[in-house]
């Protein structure tokens, strides 16, 4: 007989563990994104020190995605057997050590090599964090909880700019990278000691969430165990590809905005370099707010609708930035557009909760990891493509026009397939 341990019976203890799991997940996302976009925040300083061209700088930011994608292909299947604790700790310790050594980069080749190492290990952090959330929260709360994690991701980008630029001005970009690497390792060590992957790891062997109870009762002793579900089942559903497409659009927008908006404002709008921290912080905080609102909405309205609304918002933000390259805009207007750009992440929580909902707990972490490959591809393509366009045309207007065209194509594709 299957015993179903409901959330209601164990609520006080589980709420405490849920809060802790979300806290640890937020820490993981902060340093995953911090290591990812720390270079983008201080790119002008690194470019000056290592004599990088715009195309080289864009490739250095996007190169992370090459091994992040390889890492997803490695860590996502392993996510069915390795615990959330192992994935989280291994990922952050590996990325932190490489981040620290990145502070000693003396050449473009060394910088690229270390960016590639960081990308591979950061992929393990993402899969581990998703497994942690899927293990500790019922499906009906995945929209908001994943929205919180993605908000932490955006907050990290904000902090990269808000802290990285002044630290680099005062002490140099190498000091910023070294400090970020040490802090990443510290969080990884903390995760190795403290993480538990779900109620089953704290003594509730037969636990099921209340909204999974009916499904749990339907199981029989003759059915295959949870771990026997084939990983190839992930690829048989269209929702993996819908999720990957939506993530591609969101992350293309985030990468394009994070990497090239500040240089565009400096060159086209003649913004003072010290003001870059304000622009970066404004964009980041706006994303945090929008992700929290979007996560809340995705638990209350059809998630497929949220994907389409989010794609439309990406188009609107891209067109707004095209305008900044064509006409003179006052400082207050630049800040307003920077804040408006937060809408590019509106559907973030809906994307991952939709994939989780379609695949269930046994495959959710792996499915999310594979879907994230769409975002990985775009985080490589966006900085490198726009950097190449800028280098070839010497025009931010053309580059941001390409940005807008990509987002329009994603929006149209989602209108067709996400139903």
pLDDT of 11: 65
Confidence of residue 220 (pLDDT cuts 50, 70, 90): very low
Whether 180 is covered by a domain: the verdict is yes
pLDDT at 221 over 50: no
Q: The domain spanning residue 248 has which CATH number?
A: 1.20.1250.20
Number of domain units in the chain: 1
pLDDT at 225 over 50: no
Cα-atom radius of gyration of the chain, to the nearest Å?
A: 21
* Contact assessment for residue 336 and residue 286, using Cβ atoms and an 8 Å cutoff: no
pLDDT at 24 over 50: yes
pLDDT of 213: 43
Using CA of residue 71, residue 100, residue 108, residue 387, what is the dihedral sign? positive
Under DSSP, is residue 413 helix (H, G, I), strand (E, B) or coil? Answer: helix
Spatial distance between the Cα atoms of 282 and 284, rounded to a whole number of angstroms: 5
Tens-digit pLDDT profile for residues 91-139: 999 999 999 999 999 899 999 999 999 999 999 998 899 888 888 887 7
Using CA of residue 136, residue 142, residue 146, residue 147, what is the dihedral sign? negative
Phi, psi of 5 (to 5 degrees): -95, 110
Percent of the chain with pLDDT over 70: 88
* Contact assessment for residue 308 and residue 113, using Cβ atoms and an 8 Å cutoff: no
Please state which of the ranges 31-40, 178-187, 307-316 shows the lowest mean pLDDT: 31-40
Whether 207 is covered by a domain: the verdict is no
Percent of the chain with pLDDT over 90: 38
Whether 247 is covered by a domain: the verdict is yes
Of residues 398 and 149, the one with the higher pLDDT is 398
Tens-digit pLDDT profile for residues 256-271: 998 889 889 999 999 9
**Mean pLDDT, residues 403-410 taken together:** 96
Domain of residue 351, residue span: 16-195+229-417
Whether 9 is covered by a domain: the verdict is no
Of residues 201 and 389, the one with the higher pLDDT is 389
Whether 374 is covered by a domain: the verdict is yes
């Amino acid at each position: 007989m299957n015993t179903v341990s409901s959330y209601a019976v164990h609520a006080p203890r589980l709420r405490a563990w849920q809060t802790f799991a979300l806290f640890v997940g937020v820490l993981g996302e902060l340093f995953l994104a911090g290591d990812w976009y720390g270079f983008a925040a201080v790119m002008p300083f690194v470019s000056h020190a290592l004599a990088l061209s715009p195309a080289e700088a864009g490739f250095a930011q996007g190169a992370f995605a090459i091994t992040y994608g390889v890492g997803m292909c490695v860590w996502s299947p392993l996510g069915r057997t390795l615990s959330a604790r192992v994935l989280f700790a291994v990922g952050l310790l590996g990325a932190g050590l490489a981040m620290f050594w990145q502070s000693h980069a003396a050449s473009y080749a060394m910088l690229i090599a270390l960016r590639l190492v960081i990308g591979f290990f950061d992929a393990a952090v993402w899969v581990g964090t998703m497994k942690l959330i899927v293990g500790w929260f019922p499906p009906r709360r995945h929209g908001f909880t994943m929205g919180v994690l993605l908000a932490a991701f955006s907050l990290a980008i904000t902090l990269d700019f808000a802290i990285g630029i002044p630290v680099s001005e005062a002490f140099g970009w190498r000091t910023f990278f070294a400090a970020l690497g040490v802090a990443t390792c510290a969080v990884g060590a903390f995760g190795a000691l403290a993480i538990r992957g779900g109620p089953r790891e704290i003594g509730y062997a037969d636990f099921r969430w209340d909204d999974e109870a009916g499904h749990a009762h339907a199981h029989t002793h003759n059915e295959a165990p949870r771990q026997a579900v084939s990983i190839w089942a992930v690829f048989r559903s269209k929702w993996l590809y819908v999720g990957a497409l939506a993530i591609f659009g969101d992350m293309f927008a985030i990468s394009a905005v994070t990497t090239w908006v500040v240089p565009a404002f400096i060159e086209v709008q003649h913004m003072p370099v010290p003001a870059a921290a304000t622009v970066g912080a404004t964009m980041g905080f706006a994303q945090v707010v929008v992700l929290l609102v979007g996560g809340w909405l995705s638990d209350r309205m059809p998630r497929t609708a949220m994907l389409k609304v989010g794609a439309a918002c990406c188009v609107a933000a891209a067109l707004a930035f095209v305008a900044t390259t064509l006409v003179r805009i006052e400082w207050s207007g630049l800040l307003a557009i920077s804040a408006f750009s937060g809408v590019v992440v509106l559907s973030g929580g809906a994307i991952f909760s939709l994939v989780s909902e379609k695949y269930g707990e046994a495959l959710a972490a792996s499915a999310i990891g594979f879907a994230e490959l769409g975002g990985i591809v775009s985080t490589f393509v966006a900085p490198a493509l726009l950097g190449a366009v800028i280098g070839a045309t010497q025009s931010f207007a053309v580059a941001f026009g390409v940005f807008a065209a990509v987002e329009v194509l994603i929006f149209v594709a989602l209108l067709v397939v996400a139903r």
